[in-house]
A and B are shown apart, each in its own frame.
Chain A
Amino acid sequence: MSHQYQAISWNRQKRFYDLTIIAGVVIYVALFVGLSAFLFPYATAETMLIRATGSAAFLLLHVVLCIGPLCRLDSRFLPLLYNRRHLGVITFLLGAFHGVFAVIQFHSLGDKDPLVSLLTSNQNFRSLPDFPFQQLGFFALLILFLMATTSHDFWLTNLTPPVWKSLHMLVYVAYALLIGHVTLGVLQSETSPVFVIATGVGLATVLGLHIAAARRERKVDAMKLNTVPHGFVDACAVDSIPEKCAEVCSVNGERVAIFKYDGKISAISNVCRHQNGPLGEGRIIDGCVTCPWHGYQYLPDTGASPPPFTEKVSTFQTKIVDGRVWIDPRPNPPGTRVEPSPIQASEMHV
């Protein structure tokens, strides 16, 4: 957590995650180069490496973009989210390798500066098949560089999660640029339908998963809650909350996680202070609400992280009437203790 900055705190899971990614990339590049050498013996080693690393980066970016919606649709994918940033950094490194080698091969032999050559040699902006696709890749790589360099928690803390999140949403701009880079680049010269189909399937998968996840999220936000004159809203039934887990409801556009634990009910903001992770999809472990994304913890009655950590989220007043949980939609200041509502025996139907 944020008690002190550490360069990288490695653990067994991170090592396994990173080794798996690196092994996967090495196998992919080796297979790509081996197959290319067999099928296209006239291709140079530089060309094969440029294509292998470029396609690996493009493929990894698809994986990165699919992890978020997959986790929203099915919690079994959550382990992939834990080190998603490592995947992003490796995507950038592969893209950088591809970009540097391409600039050396195609722009370094003339009398112009390679970067000037990259940005000015093709200016057919009005022609789709002759569009300067390399420039699209260059700007996508710049975005990936910006994201990779700010991926550490140091930047997350100093920029604040909303700013950091907004910055990292540029990944969608990078993705759009790369779809243009591939479609107007390699797909213009490759006549094999395999590349077109693979790119189309990748694009459809990313868009389809995001649309499916957005539809599901929208249902939660669109939920209309009953309100009574003294301001409390009817959030959910006590029985609908699994033990040591939460039910999430939307109040005034913001989500509230209502936890049931040890015969009590507490409500806190659903938004983790670390990366805005969904606390309501986490569990209570060792008496603390534990974020499913990176394990940040909060006490359910105060919304504060246990000492020495300092993160705090808002809490909400709760009460239980006829087996239903009612919450006050006005959030308390982060870290404010709220007495948990006891669940009477008559309201428990386990």
Chain B
Amino acid sequence: MIQPLRMMHRAIFLVLAVLLPVLFLSGIAFRHSWPTAKPEHAKASQSPPPGTPP
């Protein structure tokens, strides 16, 4: 009685063990790259353009 259920459980998990890591890793690998703001100190340390009075 329980053997078919056990077999079904194993089959489901076999599929999930392959499918879910692939889905998870693909989702992470192909996610959008979001633009990031430049930090303030980077802006402050920029050298002034040539010809700019000190």
Q: How many residues of B contact A (CB 8 A)?
A: 26
**B1-29 with Cβ < 8 A to chain A:** 1-6, 8-10, 12-13, 16-17, 19-21, 23-24, 26-28
Q: Quick one: which of A128, A218, A221 has the most chain B CB within 10 A?
A: A128
Main SS of chain A's interface residues? helix
Interface string of A67-90 (1 = CB under 8 A from B): 000000000000000000000000
Q: In the assembly, what is the distance between CA of A187 and CA of B30, in Å?
A: 11
* Choice from A166, A175, A180 contacting B5 with Cβ under 8 Å: A166
**A175-219 with Cβ < 8 A to chain B:** 175-176, 179-180, 183-184, 187-189, 191, 196, 199-200, 203, 207, 210-211, 214, 217-218
Chain A positions within 8 Å of B23 at CB level: 176, 179-180, 183
CB of B13 within 8 A of CB of A200, answer no
Chain A positions within 8 Å of B17 at CB level: 207, 210-211
Q: Please tell me if A154 contacts chain B, counting CB pairs below 8 Å.
A: no
* Choice from B9, B19, B26, B36 contacting A169 with Cβ under 8 Å: B9
For the complex with contacts A166-B5, A184-B27, 17 further pairs of A-B residues with Cβ separation under 8 Å are: A129-B27, A129-B32, A162-B2, A172-B16, A176-B16, A179-B24, A183-B23, A183-B24, A188-B27, A188-B31, A188-B32, A189-B34, A211-B13, A254-B3, A255-B2, A276-B2, A276-B5
23 contacts between A and B (CB under 8 A): A128-B27, A129-B31, A162-B2, A166-B8, A169-B8, A169-B9, A172-B12, A172-B13, A176-B16, A183-B23, A183-B24, A188-B27, A207-B16, A207-B17, A207-B21, A210-B13, A211-B13, A218-B10, A221-B6, A253-B3, A255-B2, A271-B1, A276-B5
- Write the residues of chain B forming the contact surface with A, with a CB cutoff of 8 angstroms: 1-6, 8-10, 12-13, 16-17, 19-21, 23-24, 26-28, 30-32, 34, 36
- Write the residues of chain A forming the contact surface with B, with a CB cutoff of 8 angstroms: 128-129, 162, 165-166, 169, 172, 175-176, 179-180, 183-184, 187-189, 191, 196, 199-200, 203, 207, 210-211, 214, 217-218, 221, 253-255, 271, 276
